Structure 1
Amino acid sequence: MVSCVTERAQPLAWVLVVVMVEAEVQENYSLCRECMYMGTTPLRLEDKSLKQICQRYNGKPCFVTLFDTLGHIPVYSAYTFKCSDGTKKVNVPWMYEPQLSTVSDFGEMQPFPQGDLHRSFEDAQAVLEDYSNTVNFQRGHLNPDEHQSDPNDKAATYTLTNVVPQVREFNIGPWKTHEHTTRRRLNNYCRGTAFVVTGVTTSGNTIHRHNIDRVAVPIYLCSGLLLHRLRPQRAL
């Protein structure tokens, strides 16, 4: 059964989808199995540019991402919701993903290095400069920090492999409302684990830097929720 709610915001729109899918357990995600229902990944898309990442921070697996190394954005992030008061993590530096770098031995996200060292991995992922010179877009989370309670889990959401370009009015308007509403409802009604997958579709538009296509711009953002148990006699 699929239920959809759609609201348009130029040039982005969001779709809330509740859906169950079958998938295979992928070896790359083995450390992040607890982030997914029954340890299974969403149905995998087949493309050489798509990389599966178990997003880790401070030695802890936090969530999983399917990342597009050509568009330099996540196709989706999958995570478990934690009851939260909505407080945002402050003073967290933006991070990159060494697992997408061919010159790094780190197995978990790291703060962006000083100087020009980011040029060694910017072919496969976005860097801070891609967002610093654009006035139309903000960094929009797929796994938002307000859906997490542990400080490390909140901090882990601040990686560029977990964000996509969003028009400012959309990011602080419909999408922010969607994140808040989801948090309040899951806090109130979900007794067990809530599994969330949030992903995007793109239209071919990109953020440019030095006249080069750098970051794909989504046209739709979609959230899928799978709830283990609801509180008795309550419905979302």
Structure 2
Amino acid sequence: MIPTFTNCALATAAAMVFLMCGLLEVSQAGVVGDFNHAERCKDSLFMGTPPRGYLSNSFKKICQRYEDKPRYVTLYDSHKHVPIYSAYTFKKSDGEKKVDFPWMFEPQLASEKSSSNMEPFPQSANMHMNFEDSQAVLEDYADVVQYERGQLNPDEHQADPLDKASTYTLTNVVPQIREFNMAPQQLLPRQSLCDHRGHHFWTHDPSQQPGPGHQNKIA
């Protein structure tokens, strides 16, 4: 029989391992079950309050991470392949759009075991087949005339270069009429709400625009 003190030591060790695993899961959150349970994700939300009233099982909560740091949050429709809600903190910038960042995707939408950081699209288009069922891919926005990529969290609303880079993920993009994309404040049919501390909330109504998914391919 194992002595009592050994049992206590084993129980303590097991508890520490469980706690460490829990902390690791929180700190590396990408796709999450609750924004409030992910480290620093809720900082983007007004009073830490996530959006309510979205009931579809296809809506995924994403703590948008870039370079191992949470940047903003997104509620993503994995069926229509468009974000329907984004919350971020506005940071005064020069208002210029940086276009030298690669477009990225969210690995955990395709596999829970993948990286929690957004990653650049692979060079080979064939690799996109691994995750095109769960999110938009570059081909969805290729060879289109009327629409282009419109960011719910605009590049121009961020000042830090890494924060700007994090806006270049297709999980932050909806199909947008080109004329509207000339000014971030004209992102219709979205609705923008802003509080006095600079928190912004963009909502997008998918019923007013087609998604870029294969059944709703932009032409």
Distance in 1 (alpha carbons) for counterparts of 2:211 and 2:96: 30
Give the one of 56, 66, 70 matched to 2:75: 66
The structure richer in helix per residue is: 2
TM-score by length of 2: 0.73
Q: Mapping of 1:1-236 within 5 angstroms?
A: 26-27=35-36, 29-102=38-111, 105-115=114-124, 116-172=126-182, 175-178=183-186, 193-203=197-207, 206=210, 212-214=214-216
The one-letter amino acid paired with 2:152 is L
CA contact (8 A) 2:174 2:211 kept: no
Distance 1:75 1:58 in 2: 24
Structure 2: distance between partners of 1:195 and 1:83:
12
Change (3 A) 1:66 1:72: same
Gaps of 5+ in 2: 1-33, 188-193
Q: Residues 132 and 144 (structure 1 numbering): CA distance in 2 closer, same or farther, change over 3 Å? A: same
Which amino acid is 2:79 matched to? L
- 1:204 and 1:216 in contact (8 A); partners too: no
Identity %: 48
Cα deviation digits, residues 28-61 of structure 1 (max 9, x gap): 5444111112222122411110000000000110
Q: Distance in 1 between matches of 2:50 and 2:184?
A: 26
Residues 63, 77 of structure 1: 8 Å contact kept = yes
Structure-2 change in CA distance of 1:193 and 1:207 (3 Å) = closer
Q: Which of the two has greater strand per residue?
A: 1
Using structure 1 for the length normalisation, give the TM-score: 0.68
Distance 2:207 2:81 in 1: 14
Q: Which structure's CA Rg is the greater one? A: 2
| AA partner of residue 70 (structure 1) | H
